[in-house]
Amino acid sequence: MSEEKLDYDYIIIGSGFGGSVSAHRLTQKGYKVLVLEKGKRLGAKDFPKTNWNLKKWMWMPFLKFHGLFKMTFFRHVTILSGVGVGGGSLVYANTLPVPKSRFFKSSSWAHLADWEKELMPFYKTALEMLGASKNPRLEKSDTTLRELAIKIGKEEQFEPTTVAVFFGESDKTVPDPYFKGEGPERTGCNFCGGCMLGCRFNAKNTLDKNYLYLAEKNGTVIQPESEVYDVAPLDGKDGSTGYKVKWKTSTTFFKKKGEFTSKGVIFAGGVLGTIALLLKLKSSSLPNLSDMVGCNIRTNSESIIPITSLDKQAVFSKGVAIGSIIHTDDNSHLEPVRYSEGAGFWRLLLLPMVDGKNMLIRFFQLFADFFMNPIKNMKVIFTDDWAKRTSIMLFMQTLESTLKFKKGIFGMKSTMDKGEKPSAFIPEAIRLVKEYAKIINGKPFALVNEAILGIPSTAHILGGSVMGKDKNEGVIDKDNKVFGYNNMLVCDGSMISANIGVNPSLTITTIAERAMSKIQSK
């Protein structure tokens, strides 16, 4: 089939940080682009006021819940992710840190390029596109973190976060402040703390307000509620003549199906979307894919530990989702996370924080905790407003420990790849959280899956389609091109080939910017 007869030049599967960059830059270069997104197109009126509104918050299509937040459970990790036009930007905590040098020099990919030198110009571009600025307002959880930093001798390592938020004048709407009038109107942040529920006040710089907005304005077609289930080369070989992409509706019981053809395909559905699809296609339509698909999955070695204060006057819900950070050492970071008032659904999934080595010991510790601290536990359980009284501590490390995702009976399953398995009980995190709890007269808790099963949670799953010098070492080359196929790329969190140790959204955006810079204009 000639290029003139193809439906599109590029079809992008997913609209998160990698997919949105790809759509905007390819459209700028003159290409005809289609974005297929599994989730819905959501706006301010569609976002829940609190996470008790599960139908608007959660993505569980089998229950007719078509929200923006998804939880996926594996043997080794529970993954928190975003769904919708704009992908993870709808639910992420806005933070945009540039990783430390160790990330760029990691042995897993340092031999492919001088990454720090290569990527720094694109970090600058990404920060500008995402509207990055320093958080100007420290609230209760942030000032407490600074107090903790002083207590542990790390005051100089405390700082406000750089975030993707339009601060302006609170609740005041102004013409586009970022793209010389080409972007949408924006409204100044009111510091409600609801960033991760979807910003209802037009202040958060989600991808539908920058990359995707500009891409669509310039001709990109975005088709939501469309889940891709097959990508096949038209020539039956390496895709030199293009691809046929098949999709089905993701929000209806009776599936409508369709297909499009294109010269090129970009996988940008995040680790959960891209790796699941590539594993499926490797055994059918894309047999030339590397055997490394699904390998080198990284969790950012996280601990997520809520601390509920017994002080009824304390308010932790005001501010941006993550307003500050401590760099506790060269490999570790601690951030306080918040939800807005009334958003207390998580309280149903929590138990007192324990750290026993096996389930039996943890059960004993839980029993002992309830027996020894009945009044404190009851006060936390029946606290008037969980989100208002709770500071959620996010601890991240750079550790060389990886998982492998494989095809299972009911989707993907996880196995160990290299290093020690991810742990819900990181000693340094527990030590820091206990110190923070003392300052706010609070009690630490943990998700049920962590307290009982010892399975950690992460909002930053990465890898599975990593870079390499050839298909024996990776799935894609240093320019994001898939080994074995023409005009096929991966641009999402699955391309991350080393441990970042900080919130990864900016880095995903940056590497996607670099990948698109390598594609010639039409």
d(CA 139, CA 4): 57
* Cβ-based burial of 312 (10 A; exposed 0-12, middle 13-18, buried ≥19): exposed
d(CA 428, CA 426): 6
Phi, psi of 365 (to 5 degrees): -65, -40
d(CA 68, CA 196): 9
Q: Where are the alpha helices (DSSP H) in 29-162?
A: 54-57, 101-104, 115-129, 140-151
d(CA 482, CA 277): 14
Q: Could you tell me if residue 430 is left (phi over 0), alpha (psi between -120 and 50 degrees) or otherwise beta?
A: alpha
Q: Residues for the chain: how many in total?
A: 522
d(CA 504, CA 449): 24
d(CA 290, CA 275): 12
d(CA 176, CA 160): 25
Phi, psi of 513 (to 5 degrees): -60, -45
The yes-or-no answer on residue 327 being catalytic is: no
* Cβ-based burial of 110 (10 A; exposed 0-12, middle 13-18, buried ≥19): middle
Identity (one letter) of the amino acid at 383?
A: T
The answer to whether the CB of 198 falls within 8 A of the CB of 48 is: yes
Q: Which of 24, 76, 333, 460 is catalytic?
A: 460
d(CA 273, CA 57): 19
Tokens of 39: 């989730």
Active-site annotation, residues: 460
